[in-house]
Amino acid sequence: MVWPFKPRLSKQIARIEITGAIAGATRKRVLEALKTVEEKKFPALLLRIDSPGGTVGDSQEIYSALKRLGEKVKIIASFGNISASGGVYIGVGAHHIMANPGTITGSIGVILRGNNLERLLEKVGVSFKVIKSGPYKDILSFDRELTQPEQIILQDLIDSSYSQFVGTVAEGRNLSEETVRSFADGRIFTGQQAVELGLVDKLGSEEDARRWACELVNLDPEKTPCFTLEERKPLLSRVLQGKQQTGTIKSGIDWLNFELSTSGLPLWIYKA
C-alpha cells in the first residue's frame, strides 16, 4: 500500500476510493487498505464511493471489514456520481453518509443474469451433450431455457440475498426492515431523495465529507492532511496510467468481461 510514512498519524485522516464494479481485485485492494488504516491507527477514514455495485460476496466482505474497523475508527462515506446497489451496501458500513444532491443511488435489490444462446446455437449447428450428477447441476446453462423448478430455486436464492441486503441497510441506517422494503424495490433516486428516505445523512461534496470526518475526531479541517491509500502498481502500469491522464489511452469498466465472468452469480448492481 502507498501511504505517507510520517509521524503523528493520529493527526491525519485516511482516504480510500472505491470506483467501478465491486469484484475480485477491488475487494482485495480495499480490504488491504482497511487493514492499513487499522494498523497505522488513523483516527478517521473518508470512504469515497463511485460504483454501480457488484457481486454479493465481495460487497459483503468489504461491509464486514468496515463494521469491524468502525469500532476503532470514525468512517464517513462520500457518494460520488453513482453509488448504487453494492455501493449502497458498502456505504451503510460507515458511521455516516454524505452525497451530492444529484448523486444516483438506491437500486437496492438483487439481480441474477444468465445468457440463453439456444437459438443462435441451433442456427450454426452447435449442440452440447451434458452428463450431470443431478438435475440442477447445469442450471442457467446458456444452451437451453430454464425449467419451472429451476426458476423456483433461483428465485428463492434471490429472495434470500435480497433479505440479507434489506437487513443490512436497516441495521446500518437504523431503520426498520419495513421502512427499507418500502423503497428497496430496485428503484434509483437522487442524493436529495436519499436524505428524505434516511439512506443518506447529509448533502455535500467530498470536501464537505472530509471536513466532517475531521470534526468528528476533533481535528482542524484547515490543517489536517488527508492521505489516499492506493495499491502500489508496477512501473509499467504507472506509465500507462500517466498516458491515460493525457488522453492518449482511454479505459473504463470492461463490461463484456464482467458480464461473462459473473454470469450466474447474484449481483448487487445497478444496470442502466
Ordered per-residue pLDDT tens for the chain, 272 residues: 444 445 466 689 999 999 999 988 899 999 999 999 999 999 999 999 999 998 889 999 999 999 999 999 999 999 999 999 999 999 999 999 999 999 999 999 998 877 788 788 788 888 888 888 999 888 888 888 889 999 999 999 999 999 999 999 999 999 999 999 999 999 999 999 999 999 999 999 999 999 999 999 999 999 998 989 976 555 454 445 454 444 333 334 454 555 555 555 566 565 54
Instruction: Supply the residues annotated as catalytic.
Output: 85, 137
Q: Report residue 165 as a C-alpha cell.
A: 441486503
pTM equals 0.81
Give the residue ranges of DSSP H helices in 17-77: 25-39, 56-69
How open is the CA angle 39-77-192, to the nearest 5 degrees? 175
Q: Which of 63, 85, 115, 57 is nearest to 199 (CA)?
A: 85
Chain-centre distance for alpha carbon 57: 11
At residue 71, what is the residue type? E
- C-alpha to C-alpha distances, 49 to 6, 118, 154, 202, 240, nearest whole angstrom: 26, 39, 30, 15, 24
| Contacts (Cβ under 8 Å, ≥6 apart) of 201 | 96, 97, 98, 195
At a CB cut-off of 8 Å and minimum separation 6, what does 237 contact?
none
Name which CATH class applies to 9-269: alpha beta
Q: Are 107 and 270 in contact (CB under 8 A)?
A: yes
Domain boundaries, the chain: 9-269
